[in-house]
Amino acid sequence: MNRLQLFYCLIRADFLERTRRYSFLITLGFTLYAAYVFLPPNPSNYATLQLDGHRGIYNSAWVGSLVAMMTTMFLSFAGFYLVKNSLARDRQTRVGEILAATSLTRPQYLIGKALSNFAVLCVMIFLMITAAGVMQLIRGEDTHLQLWMLTVPFFLITLPVMAIVAALAVLFESIKFLRGGLGNVLFFFLWIFAVSSEALNHEMFLGINIPLKSMQASAESLYPEYQTKREKMSMGFSFKDEGQQWHLTTYEWHGVDWTAEDIVGRMLWFGVAFGIVLAAGLFFDRFDSTQNQPRGEPRRHGGWVRSFRDKNDSSHMYPEVSETNGTKTVAVHLSPLSEMRFKSQFFQMVIVELKVMLKGLSRWWYLVAFGLIIASLAVPLDVSRQILLPLAWVWPILLWSAMGVRETQYRTHQLIFSAAYSLKRQLPAMWLTGVIIAMLVGSGVAIRLTIAGEWGGMFAWCVGAMFIPSLALAMGVWTGSSKLFEVIYLLLWYVGPMNKILALDYLGSSPETIAAGIPQIYLVLTLVLCCLAVIGRRRQLTI
Amino acid sequence: MNIVIENISKRYKGNVWGLRDFTLTIGSGVLGLLGPNGAGKSTLMRILATVTRPSAGTITWNGINIEKSPNDLRAVLGYLPQDFGVYPNLTAIEFLEYLAAAKGLNHAIARKRIDELLQLVNLVDVRRRPLGGFSGGMRQRIGIAQALLNDPQLLIVDEPTGGLDPEERVRFRNLLSELSGDRIVILSTHIVSDVEATATHIAIIQKGKLITHATPERLLSSVDGSVWEWVIPSAELPLIKQRYLISSTMRRTDGVRVRAISKAAPDSAQAVQPTLEDAYLHWVSNHTVDPNG
C-alpha cells in the first residue's frame, strides 16, 4: 500500500466513524443555523459586524468574507473541542493497540488523524459556504452570486485556521497532561489570547484582519467622518437594548485584493500545522501507556492532572501489580448480613464521593486552593469578591467536570446503577460533594461577607456554590462527557464574572448583580439543572 | 425465593432482537446460562440486573415486578457485569468501600465484609494498591468481591471467569457452589466446563430464544447413545466434518480420533459417554426436541 492509499484508508475510517454519529448531524444543524444568524437583516436588534454604523451590502464579497470571518472565530474554538477525541477514541476502543502493532509510523498515524480532523471541519465549512450563498439570496440585497468572491475568504482565511486547529487537537491528544480537562482549559485561554491579539490588530493565525482592514478602508474612502470613529466598530454579536435596533448604513464593498504575499502568508499556516503534527509525534506514546511510568510504588500524590486527564488510559497509570500469594487457597467464612444493616447511609455516601473526587490531587492543588482562601481573607472585600472568588471558583473546574461523567467514563455505571436507590442516594451525594468543594474553596469570601453583614452577597454566594455543580452534573449526566461543562463553564466564567456582564454573573460578584436580582434567576436555573440531572440519571438507570 | 421471567423481549435499533418471547422460572441453586456469542445472554443478565429495560414482558422477583419496583430487587442483588471498569486511583479497599456505600451498607459492617471478601478473592496483599495497576484477572476478582458485598440473595455473574487463571477459576467455581445453597445464582457463560462444575440447572439460549431448560443430568440423557468416537485417516476429516456434528478431534499416530454426535452409528464407531459439551453442541445445532418432554 503506498502512502496515499494508507492516508486515504486512515482518514476514511476515522471520518466515517465520526460522521455516522447523530451528534455530527446535530453539529451540522448548528452550522446551518450559524450561517443564518451571521447575516442579520437590516434593521435588526443585533449586528455581527458594524463599522461605526456601516456595513457592506450583502453581495458575495461581503457575505463570503463576513461568514468566513465569523466561522473562523467561532469554529476555531468549538472545532477544537469537536475534533479533540480522535486519539481518545482509539484508546477507548483499544483499536489504537491494534494499530500500534502494525508497521504504521507515528507521523503517519498522527498525520492521518490530523487530516481526518481537518476533513470533519471542512465538511462544516463547505456546508457554511453553501448556506452563505443561500442566505445571500434570501436577504436579497444583491442576488448576483459570485462563486469566487463567496468562497475565496473561506479558502484563504478559514481553512488554514482549521488546519491549525486540527493539528493542535492532535498535539493536545498526544501530550499526556493535555489529553483531558487541563488541555481543554488551556486551549480556552490560548483561544482567548489569539482572539484578543487579533482584536488589537496583531496579525495572528486567525487572519481576520485582512478583510477587516479592506472593509474599513473602503468605508473610510466613502464616509469621511468614519476615520475618526474607527474604534466604534464591533465584530461578534452586538445586541441593542430592548426596543432598539441597529440601522446600518450600507455601502458596496468588492472584496479583498489578495496579493501574492497575502496568499503565501496564509498558506504558510498549513506548513505550521504540519509542523505541529510532526511535533506531536515527539510526545505520542503510540498507545504504549506504560511508557515513562514510575517504577516501584506509585506516588501517593501523582499530580493534579492525574485523576482527570486521560480517563480511558488511566488503567495503566500505575506499575502492574503482581500477586504474591497466587497459590494460596484460603477457606474463608463470609459473615451473613442482616437486613437491618442496610440503611440510607447518605452521609457515608457523601464521604466516599468526596474521597473519589479528591483522590489523586497533588499537594499543589490544595496549596493553591488554600492560598486563594487566605488571600480572600486578606484583601479588600471588593477585590475578594470580584477577582478572587471567580478565581477560586474556576480552580476546581476539573473536579466538577467529572461529576455525572465518572460512571460512564470508567465503565462503573453497571455496578453503581444496579445498587438500590442509586437515584436518591448517589446522585444527591455527588451533587452535595460538588457544593462542598465550591463552599470550601470559596470560604474566604463567605467569611468576609458574613463579617461585613452583606447578606445579599452571601445569598448570591450560596446560589453560586450550588449553581456550578448543578450545571456540571446536568451536563455530565446528559452528555456523558466532561468537555461540554468545561467549555461552557469557562465561557460563562470569562464573559460573566470576569468581564462583568451582569446577566451572566452567576457568582453575584458585584452589588449591581445582586440589586438586579440575578442570583434569584440563577437559583431558579439551579433548580432546573438539578431536575435535568435527575431526569438524565433516571433515564440512564432505566435504559 | 424465585424469579419469574415471562415473555421477555428486547428489541434494539434497526429491528434487531436481543431477546424474543423468553420465558423461564428460576429457583434456588446455580442456573448455568449457556449460549453462543450474541445469543442474548448478556441482554438477559442486564435486564435481570435492572440496568436495562425489556421491550416487552414482565419479570417478578418473589412476586414483585422488578420493572415497577427495581429497588426491591437491587437491595438483594449482586451483579458482576461482563464488561466493567474501576476507578484507577482508588485502592481495592477504597473502591469496595465506595460501592458498599452505594449499596447502602453500614460503614463498620462493610469494612469487616470487605476484609473477608478480599481474603476470599485472594487480594489481601494488594488491597492498598491502586486498581490502575491491577491485571485483568485481579480486576475481575474485585468485580466478584463487589458482587458479594451485600450478601446478595440473587447473584448474577456474566462471563465471570474470563481473565482468571486456572487456579482462580477453580476457586471461583467452588465459591459459586458454596454460595448457591439458599440463594439464586445465575451464571452466564459460553464456557461449558464452568457450568458443568457448578450448575444445578442449565438453560440454553440461542438467537434470543430459550431452546431448553433442564438439569445437567437430563441434558446429558438427551444425547445418551448419540455420541461416537472412532479413528479415521486425516484425509477423510473434511468429509466427516460435512457429514457429522463433530464435538472434538485429536491427532494420533494412526490418524485422527473423531468425536461426533449422531443418531445413527458411523462405521466402526464406538458409543461413548456424553459430556455436557456434547449435549450443548447438540442443542445449539438442532433444537427440535426438549428433554423435558
Structural domain spans, chain A: 3-224+245-283, 345-541
Does B111 lie at the interface with A, CB-CB under 8 angstroms? no
Cα–Cα distance for residue pair A484/A401, rounded to 1 Å: 9
Cα–Cα distance for residue pair A72/A27, rounded to 1 Å: 16
Whether residue A321 and residue B126 make contact (CB cut-off 8 A), yes or no, is yes
Low-confidence ranges of chain A (pLDDT < 50): 292-317, 324-330, 340
**Which residues between 72 and 91 in chain B have a beta carbon less than 8 angstroms from any beta carbon of chain A?**
74-75, 77, 79, 81, 83-90
Whether residue A334 and residue B151 make contact (CB cut-off 8 A), yes or no, is yes
Judged by phi (left if over 0) then psi (alpha if -120 to 50, else beta), residue B22 lies in: beta
Whether residue A332 and residue B51 make contact (CB cut-off 8 A), yes or no, is no
Chain A residues with CB inside 8 Å of B182's CB?
none
pLDDT, tens digit, for every residue of A165-214?
Answer: 999 999 999 998 899 889 999 999 999 888 887 766 666 668 888 899 89
CA A348 vs. chain centroid, Å, equals 33
Instruction: Supply the pLDDT for residue A436.
Output: 97
Chain B residues with CB inside 8 Å of A323's CB?
122, 125-126, 138
CB nearest A420 (choices: B51, B74, B134): B74
Whether residue B122 and residue A330 make contact (CB cut-off 8 A), yes or no, is yes
Residue of A nearest to B98 (CA): A352
- The bridge status of strand B227-232 relative to strand B255-261 is antiparallel
Residues B194, B195, B199, CA angle at the centre, nearest 5°? Answer: 135
Written as one string, the DSSP assignment of A432-460 is HHHHHHHHHHTHHHHHHHHHHT-HHHHHH
Whether residue A414 and residue B90 make contact (CB cut-off 8 A), yes or no, is no
The closest alpha carbon to A408, from A400, A417, A399, belongs to A417
Q: Are B62 and B203 in contact (CB under 8 A)?
A: no
Instruction: Supply the pLDDT for residue A95.
Output: 81
Instruction: Supply the pLDDT for residue B78.
Output: 92
Three-class SS of residue B165? coil
Low-confidence ranges of chain B (pLDDT < 70): 287-293
Cα–Cα distance for residue pair A401/A188, rounded to 1 Å: 15
**Which residues between 411 and 430 in chain A have a beta carbon less than 8 angstroms from any beta carbon of chain B?**
411-422, 425-426
Cα–Cα distance for residue pair B52/B67, rounded to 1 Å: 9
- The residues spanned by each domain of chain B are 3-217, 225-273
Instruction: List the grid coordinates of A332.
Output: 474463608
CA distance B135 to chain A (A): 7
Whether residue B132 and residue A421 make contact (CB cut-off 8 A), yes or no, is no
How big is the A-B interface in CB pairs under 8 Å? Answer: 173
The closest alpha carbon to B60, from B1, B144, B138, B124, belongs to B1
Three-class SS of residue B157? strand
Dihedral, CA of residue A472, residue A474, residue A477 and residue A481, to nearest 10 = -40
CB nearest B132 (choices: A317, A348, A415): A317
Does A145 lie at the interface with B, CB-CB under 8 angstroms? no
Chain A residues with CB inside 8 Å of B79's CB?
414-415, 418
CA distance A296 to chain B (A): 11
CA distance A291 to chain B (A): 14
**Which residues between 45 and 74 in chain B have a beta carbon less than 8 angstroms from any beta carbon of chain A?**
46, 49-53, 70-71, 74
Q: Does domain B3-217 have CATH number 3.40.190.10?
A: no
Whether residue A418 and residue B125 make contact (CB cut-off 8 A), yes or no, is no
Chain A residues with CB inside 8 Å of B133's CB?
298, 317-321
Average pLDDT, chain B: 89
Angle between helices A106-139 and A22-38 (to 10 degrees): 40
Cα–Cα distance for residue pair A66/A153, rounded to 1 Å: 9
**Which residues between 355 and 374 in chain A have a beta carbon less than 8 angstroms from any beta carbon of chain B?**
355-356, 359-360
Q: Please tell me whether the overall predicted TM-score, pTM, comes out greater than 0.80 for this model.
A: no
The closest alpha carbon to B277, from B193, B185, B179, belongs to B193
Instruction: Supply the pLDDT for residue A343.
Output: 64
Q: Which of B47, B68, B72, B87 to mutate to test binding with chain A, by most A CBs within 10 Å of its CB?
A: B87
Q: Which residues contact A153 (CB under 8 A, 6 or more apart)?
A: A64, A65, A67, A68, A69, A211, A255, A256
Q: Are A308 and A398 in contact (CB under 8 A)?
A: yes
- Site of grid cell 467622518: A225
CA distance A445 to chain B (A): 32
Cα–Cα distance for residue pair A431/A473, rounded to 1 Å: 7
Cα–Cα distance for residue pair A56/A50, rounded to 1 Å: 9
Cα radius of gyration (chain A): 26
Instruction: Supply the pLDDT for residue B181.
Output: 76
- The bridge status of strand A54-56 relative to strand A249-251 is parallel
Cα–Cα distance for residue pair B207/B203, rounded to 1 Å: 13
pLDDT, tens digit, for every residue of B66-83?
Answer: 988 888 898 899 999 988
Instruction: Supply the pLDDT for residue A8.
Output: 80
Residue of B nearest to A302 (CA): B89
Three-class SS of residue B4? strand
CB nearest A334 (choices: B84, B90, B116): B116
CA atoms within 13 A on the CB side of B72: 12
Cα–Cα distance for residue pair B96/B113, rounded to 1 Å: 10
- Site of grid cell 439570496: A137
Q: Are B232 and B258 in contact (CB under 8 A)?
A: yes
CA distance A542 to chain B (A): 6
CB nearest A321 (choices: B83, B117, B134): B134
CB nearest B130 (choices: A298, A418, A543): A298
Element containing residue A116 per DSSP (H, E)? helix A106-139
Chain B residues with CB inside 8 Å of A416's CB?
99, 102
Residue of B nearest to A348 (CA): B101
Cα–Cα distance for residue pair B185/B30, rounded to 1 Å: 5
Q: Which of A22, A290, A321, A356 to mutate to test binding with chain B, by most B CBs within 10 Å of its CB?
A: A321
